[in-house]
Amino acid sequence: MTRVAWFLVGILLWTPSLSLEASPAESVRYRISIAQGDAPSLEIDLTTFRLPSAGGALRVVIVPDREVPGLPLLSIVIDRDGNPRADLTDHRDRTVSDALLYWLEAEAAVPPEWRVAGAQGTEKIRLSSLRLRSRIAMHRSCTAPEGAAATLHMALEEPVLEMNGELKTELRTLDWRFELDAAGAFRGGELRRELVRSIGAVEQVDAPRIEIEVISRTALEADEARRVWLEFELLAPAARCILPGQDAKQVDAALERLERHRTEQPDGKLAAAVPRLEAGLTSRSEWLAGGTPDERAERLIGHPAPEFGLTDLDGEQLSLSSLRGKPVLLSFWGHT
């Protein structure tokens, strides 16, 4: 076999869609209520598609039923260690994706042995979404009254305080309650936490209260999961073009992608997101067409910086959204 032939075989074996053959995939439908401070609660139904990808990671594609803060098509990536991170999200408002991040991380933090009725104890865990270096001591207990579903409760043993220069991060409350079915799978639950970041007298409080009900779980056959994966690959660039930092040509190309979707996958699993994607892209196109570059730049003042990623001095990937809630200084320099 020639080198070219081996190269082509290698590409086919690496393709993420083929890894779905050996990995389970499922669609999960949720009903979520999100409250933050004194703001009215947001109630939304949404459908997620858990799609295994190369390297043992898992992509969770999220399609809300109706218009909610953020993008009409969202995505979270869970690495092989169970750590979730927001991938395709609107960094200006991550209300829904953050709720799913907390929930998915809670699922990953609770191993099967914790879900057995009568289990009690304390164990230290690490939560990536909190960006804390410390492991957190959590007390857990699982009870199952006769004739009722099991209830799993996890709570912070004591507040966690970390200092990073002048930045103080204090996790004051972390409380998770889950309802489990007979097999120990999550049926729903309530998540509460209070995280306070401060520099001097300036404080930022993050205290969401999230109630989640799992409405249904449906296993996806490999070919069905592959179709959802390909559909996401077609629509994801269109969703990214709604965010700041894209030019008119990219937005026009994204609108062409939506037309391809109508032709290639008119009844796709993610089709519910297409009308809202089109509305967002059209609005973005009209905004880009209005005024000179200086006038458009003037309208960006006071708004969040566009999302971007780079490699730091240690070779680690870093995104601007991963620093959310922390002071960030951008220094642009160069030489000729």
Q: pLDDT tens digit string along 29-73?
A: 999 999 987 778 899 999 999 998 877 788 999 999 888 888 899
Mean pLDDT, residues 158-165: 87
Beta carbons of 122 and 157 less than 8 angstroms apart: yes
pLDDT value for 206: 87
pLDDT value for 334: 54
Mean pLDDT, residues 282-290: 77
Residue 130 has pLDDT above 60, yes or no: yes
pLDDT value for 15: 39
Average pLDDT, the chain: 81
What are the distances in angstroms from CA 32 to CA 51, 59, 78, 206?
Answer: 21, 20, 20, 18
Residue 27 has pLDDT above 90, yes or no: yes
pLDDT value for 10: 39
pLDDT value for 301: 65
Residue 19: which pLDDT band, with cuts at 50, 70 and 90? very low
The lowest-confidence range among 30-34, 113-117, 222-226 is 113-117
Q: Are strands 74-78 and 317-319 parallel, antiparallel or unpaired?
A: unpaired
Instruction: Tell me 123's DSSP state.
Output: E
Tens-digit pLDDT profile for residues 205-216: 888 999 999 999
pLDDT value for 285: 79
Task: Extract the tokens encoding 283.
Answer: 């609005």
Task: Extract the tokens encoding 162.
Answer: 């970390």
Amino acid identity for residue 325 in this structure:
G
The lowest-confidence range among 6-15, 113-122, 286-295 is 6-15
Mean pLDDT, residues 152-173: 90
Residue 7 has pLDDT above 70, yes or no: no
Q: Give 163 or 296, the one with higher predicted confidence.
A: 163
Tens-digit pLDDT profile for residues 321-331: 777 777 777 77
Residue 245 has pLDDT above 80, yes or no: no
Beta carbons of 58 and 52 less than 8 angstroms apart: yes
Q: Give 182 or 148, the one with higher predicted confidence.
A: 182
For residue 60, with 0-12 CB atoms within 10 Å meaning exposed, 13-18 middle and 19 or more buried, which class applies? buried
Task: Extract the tokens encoding 326.
Answer: 């922390």
Amino acid identity for residue 216 in this structure:
S
Mean pLDDT, residues 113-122: 88
pLDDT value for 54: 74
What are the distances in angstroms from CA 50 to CA 25, 60, 174, 218?
Answer: 6, 5, 26, 10
